[in-house]
Structure 1
Amino acid sequence: MLRIGEFSRLARVSVKALRLYDRLGLLKPARTDAFSGYRYYSGEQLPRLNAILALKDLGFSLGQVGRLLNEGLSRAQIRAMLELRRGEAERALKAEQERLARVEARLRRMDGEGGVPGSHEVVLKAMGPQRVASVRETLPAYSEVGRLFGELRAYAERHGVRPSAWVSVWHDEEYRDEDADGEAAFVADGPLPDDGRVRESLLPAVEHMAATVHHGPFDTIGVAYAALLAWIEGNGYRVAGPHREVYLSGGEQGNPDYVTEIQVPVEKAEGRERPA
């Protein structure tokens, strides 16, 4: 038998961790002295300790580790938990990759790479009304708008419609972490019959639309939004309605050659003169 300190040294696990595993029922001492309270461990317990450490390394919580080791789960249940953990790891990896892309985009911007100053030129233009087929929904996340475009693509195929432009419209007055009011639409000539959730609607005319074009994947589009909002404020305007994203080319949104026009309706802010 080994005292807890000796077992800790040989197993290369802290005494604090061993006490925690004891308290949670993950790894009980082989024997506890009734008089002194000293914990004693056996070398035969190393495989279970190694299993705990391996599962922790995979990202499982200690509660999940306990389930895997103590509840006699079936092979199918263990596989399901591993697949769930794989999905969590993939989502975390994707989030970090997107964060890295934003950092690299900021560095390129600071170093003058990837475009000369003024690469996000802003224009002010009038937009006429546009007849569209659209579907609108409260979305759990902005990225979920892709699902709405899937519905629109299926609609276009059913009715033999050829879209000339794809547009998303965001109706909230502020950024939302969840429950975003989003609308996916496409512009097309010819009949646009109502079908399920897809309806013919009208994107209203806008007298003053501030717009800029972004070249690159969606994880770098924040640079374009920053340039557009700086222009709006710097020229004495304010946002006056739902903003739109018009997808011009590029296929998949992660494509570095993706081209998106951001359009924001604006009006003059009080007390400011329009620049000549």
Structure 2
Amino acid sequence: MVVADPGWVDADAGCRCRRQRPRLGRCRCLCVGSAAANTLREETTISALEISEKPLPYVRLATLTESVSTQPEVAPVVGPLFDRVADALLASGATLGLPIAEYDMDRHGVRITVGFTYDGPAIEGLVIVELPAVESAFSATHHGSMATIDDSWRAVNDAITERGVTAVGPCREVYLQSESEDQADWITELQQPVSAN
């Protein structure tokens, strides 16, 4: 599995985060049961997607969180949140870790938490969030543009339904590689915790 290199530096921007920060589209993991989740997916995209069930490790993040009322409001929020977290980390002298976003939907909308793995002291303006280890989650690795990630999330959601388990709690997107502007080489791990029915 490809992992982001915390030592990578973008010489033009003075830090690796200028190209590393995910520029995401709308939330993809929250569409279970929606009309979009029930539409037909492109077989070419799904055929290459491997979905597995695995435990998720504990992760400590330096984060910011924002809530929006609807999924279409997610896209304009995620990138700037990552920018603010990265700026605060770099200003403190910290190195950027792996970028991770967590999406939690409830009756009020979507709570978006974005950050970077971080094991240092508290940083003013950021919130340290500890994502607990999860016993079981469905996981898939999406390759390429965020424009097609909905198809990958749809496949994960379909696999959850077919297996007879239930999605529980917030889902996560782990941006293993997110450097190019055109997103052609991006690698994003989709993670949805589940429980047996």
Assess same fold via TM > 0.5: yes
1:165-191 alpha-carbon deviations (Å, 9 max, x no partner):
1011111147x8xx53111111023x2
How has the CA–CA distance of structure 1 residues 172 and 252 changed in structure 2, closer, same or farther, with 3 Å as cutoff? farther
* Whole-angstrom distance in 2 between the partners of 1:134 and 1:263: 18
- Kindly report which structure 2 residues correspond to 1:53-132, keeping only aligned pairs within 5 A, or say none: 109-110=42-43, 112=44, 118-132=47-61
Aligned to 2:100: 167
Is 2:62 aligned against 1:133?
yes
* Whole-angstrom distance in 2 between the partners of 1:120 and 1:155: 35
1:156-214 alpha-carbon deviations (Å, 9 max, x no partner):
1111212321011111147x8xx53111111023x231312x11120111110111010
Unaligned runs of 5+ residues in structure 2 are 1-39
1:89-148 alpha-carbon deviations (Å, 9 max, x no partner):
xxxxxxxxxxxxxxxxx89x44x4xx6x63111111112221111111113611111111
Aligned to 2:110: 180
Aligned 8 A contact 1:139 1:145 in 2: no
Offset at residue 252 of structure 1 (A)? 4.8
Count, aligned residues: 154
Aligned to 1:142: 74
Is 2:137 aligned against 1:245?
no
1:15-55 alpha-carbon deviations (Å, 9 max, x no partner):
xxxxxxxxxxxxxxxxxxxxxxxxxxxxxxxxxxxxxxxxx
- Aligned-partner residue type, residue 136 of structure 1: T
- Supply the RMSD in Å over aligned alpha carbons: 2.2
Query: Rg bigger for which structure?
Result: 1
Aligned 8 A contact 2:104 2:111 in 1: yes
* Whole-angstrom distance in 2 between the partners of 1:192 and 1:254: 35
* Whole-angstrom distance in 1 between the partners of 2:118 and 2:68: 25
Unaligned runs of 5+ residues in structure 1 are 1-105, 270-276
Q: Higher RCO, 1 or 2 (CA under 8 Å, sep at least 6)?
A: 2
SS at match of 1:171: strand
* Whole-angstrom distance in 1 between the partners of 2:182 and 2:162: 31
Aligned 8 A contact 1:217 1:253 in 2: no
Aligned to 1:202: 130
Q: Percent identity?
A: 25
The structure with more helix, counted as a fraction of residues:
1
- Aligned-partner residue type, residue 114 of structure 2: A
- Aligned-partner residue type, residue 129 of structure 2: S
When normalised by structure 1's length, the TM-score is: 0.51
Is 2:83 aligned against 1:154?
no
The structure with more strand, counted as a fraction of residues:
2
* Whole-angstrom distance in 1 between the partners of 2:121 and 2:68: 24
When normalised by structure 2's length, the TM-score is: 0.71
How has the CA–CA distance of structure 1 residues 120 and 253 changed in structure 2, closer, same or farther, with 3 Å as cutoff? farther
Aligned to 2:151: 223
Offset at residue 265 of structure 1 (A)? 0.4
